Amino acid sequence: MTADYVLHFAPDNASLVIRLAMEEMQLSYDTALVDRSIREQDSASYRELNPNGLIPVLETPHGPLFETAAILLWLADTHDQLAPAPTDPDRATFLKWLFFASNTLHADLRILFYAETYIAADQAETLRAGIRPRLRRHLSLLDEQARGRPDWLSPDHPSVLNYYVACMMRWMAIYPKGGDRDWFNIADTPHLQRILQALEHRPATRACIVAEGLGATPFTSPTYANPPTGSAT
């Protein structure tokens, strides 16, 4: 390991959230591409790092970490950045919304993207139609939190939650390819929209735009990634 960390990534996958957070923290890290075109995430070597075969994995001096929220929280606490400290009065509220983003919003988003893995293929669109209103409600709840402009969810003070939500809203706007786009409109959540607009101007986002070919406005008006290495799907 030549840097503090190694991020096992695929372009425009959940690893993007980790890359953004590490760039914002100005951490030293290397990357290792997980080639989804040959399902490298199912290889024996990758499963040694993450037995679930999911992206990302972050190799650390203390061993490999997986699960997006777990990595984010570990990085925030280890480097005392992008989250309220354990003794901060805002810590409890931050944690419940971080895990809401992970356990509820992201979990439902996976159903939208990979409905055929949850139900028979001929019923996949019915499942997707049922999950879209849930996703809209989830975003509405987060937008209400953002309206109050807490330090951990505001345009002025990025947190790991900001970047996590921004990536998921990016993906809602463009995936699954060929799917219904009418259900999602960023203007429906104006407080989150302001956060995404602010994040697009940050050096961390600009670095990730180059690294993963995300386009000039990756959160507010996203296009499909054109990465220099690997494939997003």
Q: How many CA atoms lie within 13 A of 43 on its CB side?
A: 12
State the sign of the Cα–Cα–Cα–Cα dihedral 23, 109, 13, 190: negative
> pLDDT tens, 203-232?
999 999 999 999 999 999 999 999 999 988
Q: How far apart are CA 199 and CA 22, in angstroms?
A: 14
Q: Three-class SS of residue 130?
A: helix
pTM (2 d.p.): 0.96
Q: Is 26 exposed, middle or buried (0-12, 13-18, 19+ CB in 10 A)?
A: exposed
* Spatial contact of 90 and 152, defined as CB atoms under 8 Å apart: yes
Q: How far apart are CA 140 and CA 71, in angstroms?
A: 25
Residue of 127, 25, 135 whose CA lies nearest to 74: 25
Residue 4: CB atoms within 10 A of its CB come to 15
Residue 140: CB atoms within 10 A of its CB come to 12
Query: For residue 2, what pLDDT is reported?
Result: 60
> pLDDT tens, 112-143?
999 999 999 999 999 999 999 999 999 999 99
Query: For residue 193, what pLDDT is reported?
Result: 98
Token pair belonging to 216: 């000039």
pLDDT lower than 50: segments of the chain: 1
Query: For residue 1, what pLDDT is reported?
Result: 42
Q: Is 71 exposed, middle or buried (0-12, 13-18, 19+ CB in 10 A)?
A: buried
Query: For residue 233, what pLDDT is reported?
Result: 83
* Spatial contact of 156 and 198, defined as CB atoms under 8 Å apart: yes
* Spatial contact of 165 and 143, defined as CB atoms under 8 Å apart: no
Query: For residue 180, what pLDDT is reported?
Result: 86
| Domains of the chain and CATH, by start | 91-202 (1.20.1050.10)
Query: 83-109 burial, b for 16+ CB within 10 Å, e for fewer?
Result: bbeeeeeeeeebbebbebbbebbbebb
